[in-house]
Structure 1
Amino acid sequence: MSNDAEAGAAFDKVTNLTLANTPALSKLPKEIADTLPTSPRLADKILVRDDKWWSENLKKTEQQFKLWQAS
Structure 2
Amino acid sequence: MSKKKTSTATYIKTAILGAVTITSYYLLLSNQALVTEYFIKGGYYAALPIGTALYFSFVHGAFASNVLGILGITPKGSSH
TM over 0.5: no
Higher relative contact order structure (alpha carbons within 8 Å, sequence separation ≥ 6): 2
Structure of greater Rg: 1
Higher helix share: 2
TM tier relative to shorter chain: 0.3 to 0.5
